[in-house]
Amino acid sequence: MADTLTFEEEVEVETPAPALGAGCCGDTGDAYDLQKPFKAEDKRLLNCNQVDVNQLMPLKYDWAWEHYLNGCANHWMPTEVPMQRDIELWRSDALTDAERQVILRNLGFFSTGESLVGNNIVLAIFKHITNSEARQYLLRQAFEEAIHTHTFHYIVESLGLDGREVFNMYHEVSSIKGKDQFVMNMTSDVLDPNFSTASIEGMQKFLKNLIGFYVIMEGIFFYSGFVMILSFHRQNRMTGIGEQFQYILRDETIHLNFGIDLINTIKAENPEIWTAELQRDIYDMVSEAVEYEVLYARDCLPDGVMGLNETMFREYVQFVADRRLERIGLAGVYGSKNPFPWMGETIDIVKEKNFFETRVTDYQNAGALSWDD
CA proximity to 257, closest of 286, 216, 209, 219: 219
Q: What is the largest CA-CA distance in the chain?
A: 91
121: DSSP letter: I
User: Considering 154, 170, 292, 316, which one is annotated as catalytic?
Assistant: 154
| 154, 80 Cβ separation under 8 angstroms | no
The DSSP letter of residue 199 is S
DSSP string, 321-369: HHHHHHHTT---S-----S-THHHHHHT--HHHHHHHH-------GGG-
Burial of 332 (0-12, 13-18, 19+ CB in 10 A): middle
Residue length of the chain: 373
Q: 216: closest CA among 127, 123, 281? A: 281
Coil vs helix vs strand at 13: coil
User: Can you say how many angstroms the Cα of residue 198 is from the centroid of all Cα atoms in its chain?
Assistant: 24
Distance CA 68, CA 27 (A): 27
Contact predicate 65/59, CB 8 Å: yes
- How large is the angle between the packed helices 223-234 and 310-327, nearest 10 degrees? 120
Active site residue 247: no
In sequence order, the 6+-apart residues with CB closer than 8 A to the CB of 72 are 140
How many beta carbons lie within 10 A of that of residue 298, not counting itself? Answer: 15
- For residues 208 and 140, is the Cβ–Cβ distance under 8 A? no
State the catalytic residues. 154
